[in-house]
Amino acid sequence: MKPEDLNNLAEHFFEKCPTEARNFFHQILDKLEKIDERIDKLESKLK
């Protein structure tokens, strides 16, 4: 998925969805960020 598609999806989500759904969306993004950080650490160890 392209970054602009993600931005459009996020904008739609924030405008149309209830607060609980937005909070869940933030939790997913936080988890993905932590996974990305772990991958970066593993990649740096392999270099």
What 3 state SS string does the chain have? CCHHHHHHHHHHHHHHCCHHHHHHHHHHHHHHHHHHHHHHHHHHHHC
Could you read off the pLDDT tens digit of each residue along the chain, which spans 47 residues? 688 888 888 788 777 777 777 788 889 999 999 999 999 999 999 87
pTM for the whole thing? Answer: 0.56
The predicted pLDDT at position 37 comes to 95
